[in-house]
């Protein structure tokens, strides 16, 4: 099992083959080496949380296909203004808010063209040059930090929630409300510090106006009034977000508990994954009549053609052919491979040996223990997939927490956030790679800001969870 972990870690970090291909190795190697049966291994690739992520992907596709995401982002930018620091703050806030509900990678793919269009507009060329790197980093940083605030924002959060549900089924589940009770405060503090860092410390952004407020208003006006596709997407998305947030009981104190709709209705089996798929199914069946308006591109779906499939004036937000072409299916396999590793580490007995090797850390003060673990996980996330790092490290830390007599949440939640860190290198995360791929950010500039972001993130985790 140790050899399989090393093999998969090496292939994941170096991307010698596609991440999804590496994720399939347990299906062959576990039965071959007697670690688990094929049936027992395959169960990991169909866990409920994978369908939660699939539903989240489909909801994000609906926002993109209806063009609602552009309207949201431009509206935020129009509210905060067009000066250098304000524009960076607006882009960062827009990325963070979208990333709370969309996959962080999808969020960056959505926001990057908006940021580039703002940089390529009219204005002082010298000012645009000074704003280019911090503005593009704001897209990546906002998406990464915003993803920490909700369970579906970034894959490591989902890896932890599934591990918690599987390993401690007798304990209260960690749902949207519980997660956001500590995720949102962390996001708000981290976003504020990140904004100060890239506007006043590392880059010292000038206060001139890159894009006049009139230009942003003109872009908003060019979108026309809300199309029926946008309204439908907003209603479905809003409904699912509300169901996610209010599903579980939120325990504020020992005596003060806000009951969720599951406990009130008795629908305890209708989990967040089922809610996500409910929203996804609605996207395929709710009809969206064509809009009767004269604004440019009045209905993004009308007349659209996806691989030979025309979309008529009477359409749904998603068709299966569109979803089949756009959903990153390999990420779902990556989840399965990570869960299979977690299962194999436990069933083979490797977890016990690894915990014994970490026994010397138990005598450290809590803040130092948490800082050491967070630093190690963060360094690993700089070199490999965040999801893979979480899948590799969290099962080991779970076993360690039990052996050391610790509350597992005090160790696993900061480690989960640390797996999402990784701001210094282009390969650290898809968010970093996408903005680096624009060709406008030198590696030296990314590392200069990213090292500070990593250190600040680790310090915040120590301050919030280590006392």
What are the per-10-residue average pLDDT scores of the chain (467 residues)? 87 79 94 94 88 83 80 72 81 89 76 76 70 91 93 86 87 83 94 94 79 72 83 89 78 69 88 89 86 40 48 70 86 83 83 71 82 87 77 86 83 93 80 81 88 95 86
Number of domains in the chain: 1
In this structure, are residues 99 and 143 in contact, taking their beta carbons and an 8 Å threshold?
Answer: yes
Cα separation, 79 vs 217, in Å, equals 10
Whole-number pLDDT of residue 298: 38
Assigned domain for 215 exists: yes
Whole-number pLDDT of residue 311: 44
Q: Which residues contact 459 (CB under 8 A, 6 or more apart)?
A: none
Assigned domain for 441 exists: yes
Q: At what angle do helices 48-66 and 155-167 cross, to 10 degrees?
A: 150
The model carries a pTM of 0.71
- The SS3 assignment for 207 reads coil
Q: At what angle do helices 272-285 and 48-66 cross, to 10 degrees?
A: 40
Cα separation, 202 vs 423, in Å, equals 14
Classify each residue of 294-333 as buried b or exposed e, where b means 16 or more C-beta atoms within 10 Å of its C-beta: eeeebbbbbeeeeeeeebeeebbbbbeebbeebbbeebbb
Whole-number pLDDT of residue 123: 59
In this structure, are residues 366 and 466 in contact, taking their beta carbons and an 8 Å threshold?
Answer: yes
DSSP string, 301-320: TTT-EETTEE--SSEES--H
* Structural domain range at position 140: 47-327+358-465
Whole-number pLDDT of residue 96: 93
């Amino acid at each position: 099992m140790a050899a399989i972990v090393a093999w998969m870690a090496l292939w994941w970090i170096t991307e010698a083959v596609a991440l999804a291909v590496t994720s399939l190795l347990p299906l062959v190697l576990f039965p071959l080496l007697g670690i688990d049966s094929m049936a027992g291994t395959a169960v990991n690739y169909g866990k409920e949380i994978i369908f939660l992520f699939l539903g989240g992907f489909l909801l994000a596709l609906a926002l993109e296909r209806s063009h609602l995401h552009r309207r949201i982002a431009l509206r935020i930018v129009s509210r905060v203004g067009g000066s250098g620091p304000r524009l960076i703050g607006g882009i960062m806030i827009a990325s963070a808010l979208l990333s709370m509900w969309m996959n962080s990678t999808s969020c960056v793919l959505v926001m990057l063209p908006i940021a580039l269009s703002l940089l390529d507009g009219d204005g002082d060329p010298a000012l645009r040059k000074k704003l280019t790197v911090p503005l593009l980093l704001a897209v990546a940083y906002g998406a990464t930090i915003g993803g920490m605030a909700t369970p579906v924002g970034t894959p490591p959060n989902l890896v932890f929630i599934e591990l918690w549900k599987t390993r401690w089924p007798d304990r209260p589940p960690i749902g949207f409300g519980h997660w956001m009770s500590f995720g949102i405060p962390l996001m708000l503090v981290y976003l504020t510090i990140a904004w100060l860092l890239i506007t006043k410390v590392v880059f010292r952004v000038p206060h001139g106006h890159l894009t006049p407020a009139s230009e942003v208003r003109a872009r908003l006006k060019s979108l026309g009034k809300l199309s029926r596709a946008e309204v439908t997407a907003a209603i479905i998305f809003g409904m699912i977000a509300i169901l996610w947030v209010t599903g579980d009981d939120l325990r504020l104190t020992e005596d003060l508990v806000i009951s969720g709709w599951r406990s009130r209705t008795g629908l305890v089996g209708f989990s967040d994954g089922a809610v996500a798929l409910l929203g996804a199914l609605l996207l395929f069946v709710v009809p969206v009549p064509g809009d009767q308006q004269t604004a440019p591109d009045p209905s993004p779906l009308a007349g659209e053609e996806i691989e030979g499939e025309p979309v008529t004036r009477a359409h749904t937000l998603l068709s299966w052919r569109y979803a089949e072409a756009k959903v990153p299916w390999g990420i779902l396999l990556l989840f399965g491979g990570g869960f299979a590793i977690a299962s194999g580490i436990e069933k083979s007995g490797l977890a016990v040996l690894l915990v014994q090797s970490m026994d010397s850390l138990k005598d450290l003060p809590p803040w130092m223990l948490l800082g050491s673990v967070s630093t190690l996980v963060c360094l690993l996330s700089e070199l490999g997939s965040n999801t893979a790092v979480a899948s590799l490290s969290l099962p080991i830390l779970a076993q360690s927490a039990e052996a050391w007599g610790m509350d597992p949440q005090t160790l696993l939640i900061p480690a989960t956030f640390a797996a999402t860190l990784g701001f210094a290198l282009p390969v650290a995360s898809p968010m970093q790679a996408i903005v680096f791929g624009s060709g406008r950010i030198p590696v030296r500039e990314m590392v200069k800001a990213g090292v500070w972001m990593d250190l600040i993130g680790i310090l915040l985790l120590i301050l919030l969870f280590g006392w």
